[in-house]
Amino acid sequence: MAAVSLRDVSVSYGQRRAVDGITLQVRPGERVALVGPSGAGKSTLLGLCNGIVVPSSGEVQVLGSDPARASGRALKRLRRRIGTVHQQLHLIGPLRVVHNVNAGQLGRWGPWRALRSLIRPLQVDQARDALARMGIAGHLHSRTDRLSGGEQQRVALARVLVQDPELVLADEPVSSLDPARAEEVMRLLCGLLEESPRRRTLVVSLHDFDLAVRHCDRVVGLRHGRVVLDLPADEVDERARERLYELDPDR
Ligand SMILES: Nc1ncnc2c1ncn2[C@@H]1O[C@H](COP(=O)(O)OP(=O)(O)OP(=O)(O)O)[C@@H](O)[C@H]1O
């Protein structure tokens, strides 16, 4: 079964088609980069995968469920299996790092457990272990907003690690970073996929085409809401990149 399956999916905002008849299958364990010019539909496609965006037509299956049709409980269960990474890290600055890492557990914990953990952190060893894997074990009890931007990025990745999702959706996770740090975050993100006995699946939107080719197995290029390139990363060449990003005289 595919981790993500889109069949002839379109999303319209008024007259504008953000996604235009996309059919795409992502196999379990695959690392797929979504690339393409601004406005091509990358974020919309990721939104379809976690049910934030509802298709105007077509069929979406993610880990065997349709996120747009799932009931409240089923959607919650599905989202527990999906980790998300954004450019904005969504960390709570004044809290200690351990609490932000434990936020990855919230889908599993009920409200009482979550509250108890805020007073006296639970599963500290797991949080410490996740931070160690991200190379910042010593910051477990630091105030999150005292950490550097790069360290905070690692906290956000450690949060995904404790969540232990089957599928990771990352929407431009490195677009505000300098090249060296972007490379590092991609390395950590891809390393995080290997931490599970069954390799996790990644769908990541990237503005940096070279980063996509270097870190992913497959590169899917979007233009005007359509897939115009879908190749294994080692088969992507300069011409494919030029065609994807060439300026469109009609628009
Ligand atoms: N909520 C919305 N309402 C109206 N139009 C939208 C909405 N979300 C996206 N769009 C439009 O849909 C198109 C695709 O947007 P989307 O954000 O998916 O592109 P993208 O490839 O992620 O772009 P970028 O690389 O700039 O983030 C754009 O033309 C955008 O303006």
**CATH number, domain containing residue 99:** 3.40.50.300
pTM of the predicted structure, to 2 decimals: 0.89
Running along the chain, 251 residues long, what does each successive block of 10 average in pLDDT? 95 94 96 95 95 94 92 88 86 90 78 72 83 89 91 90 91 84 87 78 94 95 95 92 79 57
Most ligand 1 atoms within 8 A of CB, residue of 44, 56, 206, 245 to mutate: 44
- Which of ligand 1's atoms lies nearest the C-alpha of 11? 12
Cα(186) to ligand 1 centroid in Å equals: 23
Tell me whether residue 124 is in a domain.
Answer: yes
Would you say residue 158 lies in a domain? yes
Edge-to-edge order in the sheet of strand 57-62: 16-26, 4-13, 57-62
Question: Does 9 reside within a domain?
Answer: no
Q: What is the pLDDT of residue 250?
A: 58
**Alpha carbon separation from 168 to 68, 110, 159, 245 (Å, rounded):** 18, 23, 12, 26
Could you tell me if residue 12 is inside a domain?
Answer: no
What would the pLDDT profile of 160-213 be if each residue is shown by its tens digit? 988 889 999 999 988 777 888 889 889 888 888 887 777 799 999 999 999 999
Residue 14, in any domain of the structure: no
Structural domain range at position 203: 28-54+67-245
**What distance in angstroms lies between residue 169's CA and the mean position of ligand 1's atoms?**
17
Polymer length in residues for the chain: 251
| pLDDT at 217 (0 to 100) | 94
- Domain assignment present for residue 234? The answer is yes
Query: What are 246-250's contacts with CB under 8 Å, separation 24+?
Result: 248/223, 248/224
Among protein residues, the one with the nearest Cα to ligand 1's atom 13 is 18
Distance 109 CA to ligand 1 centre (A): 34
Q: Cβ < 6 Å from ligand 1: which residues?
A: 13, 16, 18, 36, 38-44
Ligand 1, atom 17: closest residue by C-alpha: 43
Q: Is residue 239 part of a domain?
A: yes
ipTM of the complex in this document: 0.96
**Tens digit of each residue's pLDDT (9 = 90 or more) over 2-11:** 999 999 999 9
Query: Is residue 7 one of the residues assigned to a domain?
Result: no
Ligand 1 geometric centre to CA of 176 (Å): 18
Residue nearest to atom 23 of ligand 1 (CA): 39
Helices (H), the chain: 42-49, 72-80, 97-102, 111-119, 124-133, 149-163, 179-193, 209-215, 238-245
Domain count along the chain: 1
